[in-house]
Structure 1
Amino acid sequence: MEAGGKMMGMQLSWIRNPQVSAMLLLAAAILGLVIANTGLGPGLDALKHAHLPFTVFGLDLSAAHWVTDGLLVVFFFVVAVELRYEFTQGDLNSVSKAAVPTIAALGGVALPAIIYFNVAGADGAQGWPIPTATDIAFALGVLALFGRRLPTTVRALLLALAVIDDLIGIFFIAVFFTESVSLPHLGLAAVGIVAFWMLGRIYRGKRGSWPLRIALLAVALITWWLVAMSGIHATIAGVLLGLVLSPAPAESARERLEPFTNGIVLPLFAFTSASVIIPQVPLSELSPVFWAIVIALPVGKLFGVTIAGLVGQAALRVPKPDRMKLSELIGIALLAGIGFTVALLMNELAHRSAEDLIVEGTLGVLAGSLISAVLGAVYIALLSRRYPAVDSTERTARDSEEYLRRTDSE
């Protein structure tokens, strides 16, 4: 059974490709934006705000919220599994390895937030976390498309930075975007997480057991419902479940869910979030929220990540041969300005009571991310020319080896 799953994973490896994932995200966002600004726009908007004629165990969500509060949980579960892997076996498995990307990520969070505060003003202050996010899939996709000659250390640092960045973003969602909490639901959700952890421990000795897989799925769904009912954003359930699940079932789940998240969940979320009507007003009349995000994402990330990365390497006395070059840090910092998925989610949460700010915030995220993607792609392409070409056979073999190493880690 496990061998069959692994074979299926290899067959679907094309959709795991960061280049494919990034292109699907971009295409879905463009399609959503275009349709929203045609004659189909009003119908699409009505569909997004439509509710089921009945509640689902007390949950009454719009179609758009079923995407952000339901499907997106699967993506955050996969991200959490990636986080756990990186902190235990990957590029962040020691304090020394995690220190530099952590410092760089903190710089890439602090400076965009400061810029946002100063540009947005008091009226839009609640949206300060929006430009602090980095989209893992999109950033790595651009790097894979235009930086194929760059050393693997560049990808490793970008991945580490984006992973830590997302962890900070998840913390922001849990702390700053929770209006009220139902302690009974939250307490039962904690019981569900413990039960999920225990089932994962049992799974280690009974790999391929379908009853256990069904039990894990049932407990996960119940825990998600309890978190949603508690008042905390439901995506936190995905994060917590992914962090507590034992490596064997976690990698098995990631292997099966990654094609689903890359091919359906993220494009559908990008389509839904980007399908906003562009205001028919001059640029000068757009709100400060729009400009705050457009400036904070590319500029804040560029200087925040670069300066913090240099300071971190110097403060930790990283040996010069092991230090990331300034030119490489700048490339990583430019790509870190691609906010997209998490930034769009935080925009909706921050401005949920102001529809007009959701629209302008969405446009700001799309514009700021596009600026960062274009600048990053051009810069990475030029930088990549300085390095010798990498044999495609060697790269494919290395990628396959990494995939098999992860799936065989247990």
Structure 2
Amino acid sequence: MSLLRSARFPAIVLLASAVLALIVANSPIGPSVDDVMHAYIGIPGVFELSLGHWVQDGLLAIFFFVVAVELQYELTNGELNSARKALQPAIAAAGGVIVPIAVFLMFASGSDAVDGWPIPTATDIAFALGVLALFGKGLPSGIRIFLLALAILDDIVGIVFIAVLFTTDVNLGLLAIAAVVVIVFGALSRALDTRARGVVAALLVLLAIAAWVLVYLSGVHATIAGVALGLAMAQRPALRVRHELEPWVNGVVLPLFAFSAALVVIPAVSPTQLSPAFWGILVALPVGKIVGIAGAGWISLRVANRGSAPDLKLLDLLAAGALGGIGFTVSLLLSELAFAGAPLVRDEATLGVLGGSAVSIVVAALLVAQRAHHYRRVAAAPSDEAPPAGDRDEQMA
């Protein structure tokens, strides 16, 4: 289990799952596997979903619960618990949302792919931190903190997009009942430290399932139930539950979702025949994120109080921007939602997410490794000696 709690291994598993899905989808068994993913499971005539939707709407709600618990902690006790701490990553995150959207629209404006503009705004926290762990030995903790805050703010934007843009025909009555269930869930979670914690835990599981079903039936995307439950739960028990769920999320939930989302056939067409969605996402993730995060982050260095945020250099911000371009999980979900009625465009958008994230992984690995090497040299240099001229130039960047 400890392996699945590490930052490195889950990122490798996630990538391997996506690659395996592409291989399977484009092999002779691809159609059969696709049929399995579209097979309906549940109570006939009462509540049925395809296997793919059980993964996307059901299992992924657990992932969003874990994200929401982390978000709750960071907003109350962590790196985002004051406006002063959040200012610099918030400005960088804004650039990391606005610029990728603008880049995407340069390709997709005027086409039927324009609805995919939210897709390149997301950052995959687990994957980005995995790359940071693999190649960032020696980096100052401030860079990791900045990236974590940036990715969490990105997740907030992604959650808002899912809740607002991809909600249709909302049943306000069911949504209101779901809200009451979430409130009861949050209040009852305060009793998890009592002697009756076994009974309380069972009731919490039932309430969580009820909230998920109600949110799904209300017309709001079911993963929002996970967000609401994670934010409502008392912090101490929530952090314990997150700790217990983390290996399952990293080892089962996210790999299954990556496999399900990446199960697409690579179109046998020339590059010029590919949808603008593919090209927009392919460029917006690596280029838009790097330009947006580094540019806005550089501005934030001049706006934020130096004593209230990590003292980052421009090259550090470029590395953070490249890490931010690893969209993966949330971008794949946004692709599924944005083009739910256009399977061909959705598949090409998925390939754009995989391609753009792959480019970002390579660029991020190179930049992070370079910055880590630089900081290790600085740390190894005698304190009474000035660093070499090359390092002085780097520190000024």
Please report the TM-score for the alignment, with normalisation by the length of structure 2. 0.92
Aligned to 2:227: 239
Aligned to 2:60: 72
Q: 2:183 aligns with which of 194, 197, 203?
A: 194
Q: Contact 2:85–2:309 at 8 Å: present in 1 too?
A: no
Q: Secondary structure of the residue that 2:375 maps to in structure 1?
A: coil
Aligned to 2:90: 102
Deviation of 1:390 (Å): 12
Any idea what the Cα deviations from partners look like across 1:305-362, whole Å, max 9, x if unmatched? Answer: 0111111221224259952111111100001000000000000000000000110000
Q: How does 1:78-93 map to 2 (within 5 A)?
A: 78-93=66-81
Aligned to 2:251: 263
Q: 1:282 aligns with which of 270, 285, 305?
A: 270
Q: Contact 2:185–2:207 at 8 Å: present in 1 too?
A: yes
Query: Are 1:314 and 2:296 counterparts?
Result: no
C-alpha distance in 2 between matches for 1:304 and 1:278:
30
Cα separation, partners in 2 of 1:322 and 1:65, compared to 1, 3 Å:
closer
Cα separation, partners in 2 of 1:384 and 1:351, compared to 1, 3 Å:
same
C-alpha distance in 2 between matches for 1:247 and 1:208:
18
Any idea what the Cα deviations from partners look like across 1:133-153, whole Å, max 9, x if unmatched? Answer: 000000100010001111111
C-alpha distance in 1 between matches for 2:149 and 2:103:
24
Cα separation, partners in 2 of 1:271 and 1:320, compared to 1, 3 Å:
closer
Aligned to 1:42: 31
Cα separation, partners in 2 of 1:54 and 1:111, compared to 1, 3 Å:
same
Any idea what the Cα deviations from partners look like across 1:217-240, whole Å, max 9, x if unmatched? Answer: 110010000000000000000001
Q: How does 1:127-276 map to 2 (within 5 A)?
A: 127-204=116-193, 206=194, 209-276=197-264
Aligned residues: 378
C-alpha distance in 2 between matches for 1:278 and 1:103:
37
Amino acid at match of 1:174: A
Amino acid at match of 2:79: D
Q: 1:51 aligns with which of 36, 40, 44?
A: 40
Q: 1:342 aligns with which of 317, 330, 341?
A: 330
C-alpha distance in 2 between matches for 1:216 and 1:53:
22
Aligned to 1:367: 355
Q: Contact 2:146–2:310 at 8 Å: present in 1 too?
A: no
Q: Secondary structure of the residue that 1:61 maps to in structure 2?
A: strand
Q: Contact 2:125–2:152 at 8 Å: present in 1 too?
A: yes
What are structure 1's unaligned runs of at least 5 residues? 1-11, 392-410
C-alpha distance in 2 between matches for 1:350 and 1:321:
36
Q: Contact 2:11–2:126 at 8 Å: present in 1 too?
A: yes
What are structure 2's unaligned runs of at least 5 residues? 380-397
Cα separation, partners in 2 of 1:355 and 1:143, compared to 1, 3 Å:
same
Kindly, what percent of the aligned residue pairs are identical? Answer: 49
Please report the TM-score for the alignment, with normalisation by the length of structure 1. 0.89
C-alpha distance in 1 between matches for 2:362 and 2:32:
32
C-alpha distance in 1 between matches for 2:105 and 2:171:
31
Cα separation, partners in 2 of 1:42 and 1:88, compared to 1, 3 Å:
same
Aligned to 1:333: 321
